Structure 1
Amino acid sequence: MTDTSDIRPVEGAARATRRSRLLRLVRYLPLVAPVLLWAVPCWVLLHTGQHWPPPVTLVGTALFALGLISMPLAMVRGHGRRQQDGAAIVGDTLLGVSWVLFTWSLLLAVLLRPALAGADVGEGQDRARTVTWAVLGVTAVLLGWGHAEARRVPRVRRLDVRLPRLGAGLDGLRVVLITDTHYGPIDRARWSARVCETVNTLDADLVCHTGDIADGTAERRRAQAAPLGTVRATRARVYVTGNHEYYSEAQGWVDLMDELGWKPLRNRHLLLEQGGDTLVVAGVDDVTAESSGLAGHRAHLAGALDGADPDLPVLLLAHQPKFVDRAAAAGIDLQLSGHTHGGQIWPFHHLVGIDQPVVAGLSRHGARTLLYTSRGTGFWGPPFRVFAPSEITLLVLRSPHPPA
């Protein structure tokens, strides 16, 4: 069990400045990333002293070139206007494979080859070939394990979260968080049903979905999302939009969740009363909503809290962790978010950290506000999770004055 002693402080202005500089560099990544992802492992595995027979070098180089060409083409056909699920699966899988190859080619070239040389193991060619086989072996193991991790039903992570303003009557309130289910090109209807069955074993008072339900329209992914209608909560099931809803007719997802019995908290709140005490449960549209052009869609915290007693504790649903700056300024007690996937494939969390203040877990922001960032329940794109396990989160809210 984890409690608020695990809360991590978050840096302020220095981090924001560093993030701004890195974000400017990240803008150029789409242009150079595909080349780096395929060219670096090709060079490390085939052209750094291995002296493979010419047919091996030629075929290997051709395969890397094919990956470089095929990956962006498949992703454009899969995620662009055509929305071809088969192409999306190919492109996303190649993206995951290339990322793992790239990462471990660099790491083992930098670490293993000097270690072999320092230990006087083998000659130059032998050491180079050892690095190649090590990279291929590690990549194969991580991809196999990462695929199994991505497709399994997430484990339940339980935390006790102490909120100083929470009334004694609400002590022990059970809040379940799922997020980033990303129903998509790979049909996960059975997985969705099993996730919902797991949620139903947790005796939740409140179940929250903080967005990115799917990649694709509600009509297209309805069969995968339908099990969400079976989720049980004693008090309420609430939902807010994520950025991916705004790539695929967000209003359709809002309408479907309402049809399935969830309450979309689109810049509004509800009151949860128990034992004579009250909790404000509020939600905002994703921060990308306003740029989507959809009428009435925007992240509007003041609207979400309009009419709520300012002396009551507030639980806020906001898809992206970076909304916590506004939440802290408004004195929110606890924000629940997703979006980051915990990085999904190590060490991508370092790049996620450029854009978001927290990648996973419980953190404190300002004098009052706590933020819990889930690593997500599903996966986006590459069907792999490496050192970033998915989760269903059970947060048990604790009052500083629990009932006797």
Structure 2
Amino acid sequence: MEPAGGRRAGSGPARRSPGVIARRLSGALVVLAVLVFLFFLPWWVLLAGGTAWPSPIEITGGVLFAAALVAFPVSMALGHGRRQWDAAARTGDTILGVIWVLFAWSAIGGVLRLALAAAGVSGPTVARSVAVAVAVVAVALLVWGYTEAMRLPRVRRVEVTLPRLGPGLDGTRVVVLADTHYGPIDRARWSARVVDAVNALEPDIVCHAGDIADGSIAKRREQAAPLGRVRPRLARVYVTGNHEYLGEAQGWLDEMARLGWESLHNRHVVVERGGDRLVLAGVDDRTAASSGLAGHRADLPRALAEVTPDLPVLLVAHQPKQVAQAVAAGVDLQVSGHTHGGQIWPFHYLVRVDQPVVQGLSRHGERTQLYTSRGAGYWGPPFRIFAPSEISLLVLRSAA
């Protein structure tokens, strides 16, 4: 008779098949190769590629790169893994941002050196000049990017005409918050200032489009608490983002409900003004189905169940790519976040491969419009470079 675990008593741990082991090993090797290349290129451009720096500079720089290469995966594992050590997360996130900026500008510096060499201009002096230029630009961008990440987001105002919107709702002010990402750096005071800025806009509706925090509710509750002071005239609604499904998705739905928000877990509410009505619907993030949480998946038909067909619909869905379902359902306007506008240039090119839109207002199909916010906060690296944060104010206009 076998024990409940399905293995014979005394048989020891179940053995993984050779195929599974090979796939995991190949995946680990790919990650290692990418990581090494990410560090190798800046090291080569700044220190080793014909720069002929004095030995103390080469040795010191090499030691710093090697230490960062080792510290990065360790701190990311300790900070974002099971232990959730915020100090380690801050270290790993910062290294990631720094090395990404150095990599991007080292690539540009490498291309510049190749162009100069093709023109017959080369040698240690040229190599050192390019290295210094790359280092100066990177440091300047990192300082500026950190300031941008920590500042109060700018307000971005956009008028959106919805032909089916009744005249009683013309001028409705919808504020979109997305990607607050309360995390290892305590931003409780920043959160309070964001709420003050939202209230100053005198919104009718406030939507939080997901990715509220990274980490447990117990750790991030103080940072999220100011959201309870948001005061719209008609409604404040919230949907889950993909980062909620890395932790306590149902817990955040419950916490936001406790703070007085309508958690749109595949459901809708209807707001009314001047005799006209607007449906506010929300769906779970598209990653919810693979989370293993019972009852969690993006279910737009359920969210729109019993909605009167002639009513305009504003859908809150975390990822822009969820707009395909919105188009099929005849949604008038979808508001999303997720992309951060790329957050750190030139990452937006990679985001565009995965998402239909990186930021701003776009049209999809005959009826559906999509507004993609660059987000109020940041994920991971505490930098925003050429992708400013925003609080989005959408003023809805009726064609009538």
Structure 2: how far apart are the matches of 1:30 and 1:350? 20
Q: Which position in structure 1 is the counterpart of 2:274?
A: 275
- Which secondary structure does the structure 2 equivalent of 1:109 belong to? helix
Normalised by the length of structure 2, the TM-score is 0.91
One-letter amino acid of the structure 2 residue matched with residue 369 of structure 1: T
Give, in angstroms, the shift of residue 32 of structure 1. Answer: 3.1
Corresponding residue pairs, total: 374
- Residues 78-106 of structure 1 show CA distances to partners (whole Å, capped at 9, x for unaligned) of 00001000000000000000000000001
**Residue 163 (str. 1) matches residue 165 (str. 2):** no
One-letter amino acid of the structure 2 residue matched with residue 286 of structure 1: D
**Residue 100 (str. 1) matches residue 109 (str. 2):** no
Structure 1: how far apart are the matches of 2:245 and 2:64? 36
Give, in angstroms, the shift of residue 234 of structure 1. Answer: 0.3
Change (3 A) 1:173 1:27: farther
Give, in angstroms, the shift of residue 28 of structure 1. Answer: 8.5
Q: Which position in structure 1 is the counterpart of 2:21?
A: none
Q: Which position in structure 1 is the counterpart of 2:11?
A: none
Instruction: Give yes or no for contact 1:116–1:127 (8 Å, CA) kept in 2.
Output: no
Greater RCO, 1 or 2 (C-alpha within 8 Å, sep 6+): 1
Give, in angstroms, the shift of residue 31 of structure 1. Answer: 3.9
Q: Which position in structure 2 is the counterpart of 1:182?
A: 181
Q: Which moved more, 1:26-35 or 1:267-276?
A: 26-35
Question: Map of 1:348-387 to 2, 5 A cutoff?
Answer: 348-387=347-386
Give, in angstroms, the shift of residue 125 of structure 1. Answer: 1.0
Q: Which position in structure 2 is the counterpart of 1:217?
A: 216
**Identical columns (%):** 64
- Which secondary structure does the structure 1 equivalent of 2:39 belong to? helix
Question: Map of 1:239-278 to 2, 5 A cutoff?
Answer: 239-278=238-277
Instruction: Give yes or no for contact 1:205–1:233 (8 Å, CA) kept in 2.
Output: yes
Instruction: Give yes or no for contact 1:316–1:336 (8 Å, CA) kept in 2.
Output: yes
Q: Which position in structure 2 is the counterpart of 1:32?
A: 33
Change (3 A) 1:361 1:29: farther
Structure 1 runs of 4+ aligned residues shifted over 2 Å read 26-33, 111-118
- Residues 174-228 of structure 1 show CA distances to partners (whole Å, capped at 9, x for unaligned) of 0000010000000000000000000010010000001100001212200000000
Question: Map of 1:62-141 to 2, 5 A cutoff?
Answer: 62-111=63-112, 114-115=115-116, 118=119, 124-141=123-140
One-letter amino acid of the structure 2 residue matched with residue 328 of structure 1: V
Q: Which position in structure 2 is the counterpart of 1:61?
A: 62
Give, in angstroms, the shift of residue 59 of structure 1. Answer: 2.0
Question: Map of 1:309-348 to 2, 5 A cutoff?
Answer: 309-348=308-347
Structure 2: how far apart are the matches of 1:190 and 1:334? 32
Q: Which position in structure 2 is the counterpart of 1:16?
A: none
Change (3 A) 1:28 1:307: farther
Instruction: Give yes or no for contact 1:315–1:332 (8 Å, CA) kept in 2.
Output: yes
- Which secondary structure does the structure 2 equivalent of 1:135 belong to? helix
Larger radius of gyration: 2
Q: Which position in structure 2 is the counterpart of 1:145?
A: 144
Structure 2: how far apart are the matches of 1:388 and 1:159? 17
Structure 2: how far apart are the matches of 1:159 and 1:351? 26
Change (3 A) 1:239 1:144: same
One-letter amino acid of the structure 1 residue matched with residue 159 of structure 2: D
Give, in angstroms, the shift of residue 352 of structure 1. Answer: 1.0
Give, in angstroms, the shift of residue 47 of structure 1. Answer: 1.6
**Residue 206 (str. 1) matches residue 205 (str. 2):** yes
Q: What's the Cα RMSD here? A: 1.6
Change (3 A) 1:278 1:260: same
Structure 2: how far apart are the matches of 1:137 and 1:33? 25
Change (3 A) 1:137 1:270: same
- Which secondary structure does the structure 2 equivalent of 1:308 belong to? coil
Give, in angstroms, the shift of residue 115 of structure 1. Answer: 4.8
- Which secondary structure does the structure 2 equivalent of 1:381 belong to? coil
Structure 2: how far apart are the matches of 1:100 and 1:264? 37
Structure 1: how far apart are the matches of 2:31 and 2:264? 34
Change (3 A) 1:56 1:223: same
One-letter amino acid of the structure 1 residue matched with residue 290 of structure 2: S
Q: Which position in structure 2 is the counterpart of 1:3?
A: none
Structure 1: how far apart are the matches of 2:153 and 2:30? 31
**Structure 1: where are the runs of 5+ without partners?**
1-25
Structure 2: how far apart are the matches of 1:115 and 1:199? 51
- Residues 337-391 of structure 1 show CA distances to partners (whole Å, capped at 9, x for unaligned) of 0001011000001111121111111111111110000001000100000000000
Q: Which position in structure 2 is the counterpart of 1:9?
A: none
- Which secondary structure does the structure 2 equivalent of 1:101 belong to? helix
Q: Which position in structure 2 is the counterpart of 1:52?
A: 53
- Which secondary structure does the structure 2 equivalent of 1:371 belong to? strand
Give, in angstroms, the shift of residue 33 of structure 1. Answer: 2.7
Q: Which moved more, 1:246-255 or 1:31-40?
A: 31-40
One-letter amino acid of the structure 2 residue matched with residue 251 of structure 1: Q
